[in-house]
Amino acid sequence: MHRVWFITGASSGFGRALAEAVLTRGDSAVVSARRKDALDRLAIAHAQSALAIGLDVTDAEARSKAVEAALARFGRIDVLANIAGRGSLGAAEEFEPEQLRDQMEVNFFAAAEMTRAVLPAMRAQRSGHILQLTSIGGLVSIGGFGPYCASKFALEGWSEALRDEVKPHGVRVTIVEPGAFRTEFAGPANMRPARRLDAYRPVIDPIEAYLYGGDGKQPGDPAKAAEAMIAVVESDDPPLRLLLGADAIGLLEQKQAAFSAELARWRQIGEATGFKGVDAAPIGG
């Protein structure tokens, strides 16, 4: 089946790997990024099937025009891959309020609004697949990654609800949660806090050594991640969540074990908070 993909953040990392993979296999793709010049070579190599667009995903007008251009060129959008995003590392108290809002704007609001911009076309064609790139940091938060994980947790919750809403319209949703991959996550685009507080060095310094010291040596291969995302889109029964990397899977398993143990320890107190004689109905009906 020939598909039309709309990929944000296609100039590097996961976005670039996914764009190259889908174009090589013969699909069409709208490839977008802030740096359009980084997309030109890809667009030239696939002149008949690629449309390169310079796109700041936080710009509402630019998002609308990009979707219009995609539909004008290809007539449909089968897959929206929200890949664009930005990382950060630092203690919660070290960031300025504007930095926290910027993190949410790029990683959550932009992806949510990009999705909303594409949904009318997908509902009209009664088909589509939305890939939301979050992170294992969308399921597990670690000291030093609070702002980043908050933005990814938000996109996870929003996308899980979205899955229920769009399923009757033939639209699927998959949340992609990678661990450490060789992308630009730890590069200059990674947001550093406005100040450094000595009080947090014992917690933050080891995390900085892990992230910045391991850049270029991460175990994850973006090209293989791209193939996994394509496999999800081609599946007749795609998952809501796709964890990528043994490190991501292992970290989630640790959290699940700790959560189960804590729940068992405090369950009786939690269940005893209801009114007597009133049964607890399932949340959501």
Active site residues: 148
Q: Tokens standing for 106?
A: 């790029």
CA pair distance 233, 230, nearest whole angstrom: 5
Beta-bridge mates of residue 30: 6, 51
Beta-bridge mates of residue 129: 79, 172
How many alpha carbons lie under 13 Å from residue 214 in its C-beta half-sphere? 13
Pairing of strands 4-7, 28-33: parallel
Indicate the angle between helix axes 110-125 and 60-74, nearest 10 degrees. Answer: 30
∠ Cα 148 149 153 (to 5°): 130
